[in-house]
Amino acid sequence: MHPETRRQTTRLFTALEYGEQLAHDCARQQARWIGDARAQRFLNTQARQEASHAAFYRRAAEWLMPGHCYKAPATLQQYGRHLQRALDNNDLCDSLTGSQVVLEGFGEQIISRLNRGMDNHGIGFRRLRRILLCQEHSHYAFGLRMLQQQTVSEPAISGRIQALAADYLQQVHGIIDEMSDVFISLDEDPGEYCTDLLGNLPDWIRGS
């Protein structure tokens, strides 16, 4: 693997580790708020999976560049602070939108789109990457279902969900801008990520 590709992939894995830790914290807190036993079990399972994902990305980064330590992008850390405020406020709607829908959707896009580039550059962990992708999709689908249930019981909340999603998507734009050299190094067009992420959202969240 080219040294620059190795460096940029390590940066990507560091960012993914940070995102997985955020998702873990959210799922663990959400499990305490939700009374439905089935949803609670899913969230507890999700929290365990997110912790496992974070550990995988940490080990992968250490394997690629032993002894090197990168920080998560500043824009992603800002995103994390926004999510932490939602958790501090016991705001299930906000945390579901920011974590399971936008963050998980973004993570799924990264893994899905970069799998081919990672294979072309000889970056391993193919089987694990496929497992992670499947689990990310299940977390994303769960978040959509939970939010849709909220709109059924409280129709007026739809506008708030759309506003929250728009805000989080704007923050994702900033993350993509900051990490554009990472994506380019893996032969990806950074501008396509938000397009794909937005395109995968249902109309009732996009507001269209």
Q: All domains of the chain, ordered by start, with CATH?
A: 3-206 (1.20.1260.10)
Residue 157's nearest CA partner among 202, 63, 91 is 91
pLDDT at position 119 over 70: no
pLDDT(121) > 60: no
**Residues 26-48: tens digit of each pLDDT:** 999 999 999 899 999 999 999 99
- In degrees to the nearest 10, what's the CA dihedral of 58, 86, 194, 53? 20
With cut-offs at 50, 70 and 90, classify the pLDDT of residue 24: very high
Question: Is 123 a residue whose pLDDT tops 70?
Answer: no
Q: What is the DSSP letter of 160?
A: H
pLDDT band at 193 (very low <50, low <70, confident <90, very high): confident
Q: What angle do CA 103, 105, 106 make, to 5 degrees?
A: 65
> DSSP string covering 63-111, please?
HHSTT---PPPHHHHHHHHHHHHHHHTT-HHHHIIIIIIIIHHHHHHHH
Q: Find the farthest-apart pair of alpha carbons in the chain and give their distance in angstroms, rounded.
A: 53
Looking at the chain, the whole-number percentage of residues with pLDDT higher than 70 is 93
What pTM was estimated for this model as a whole? Answer: 0.91
Q: Which class for 180: exposed (0-12), middle (13-18), buried (19 or more C-beta within 10 A)?
A: middle
Q: What is the pLDDT of residue 208?
A: 59
Q: What is the pLDDT of residue 91?
A: 95
Which position has the higher pLDDT, 123 or 129? 129
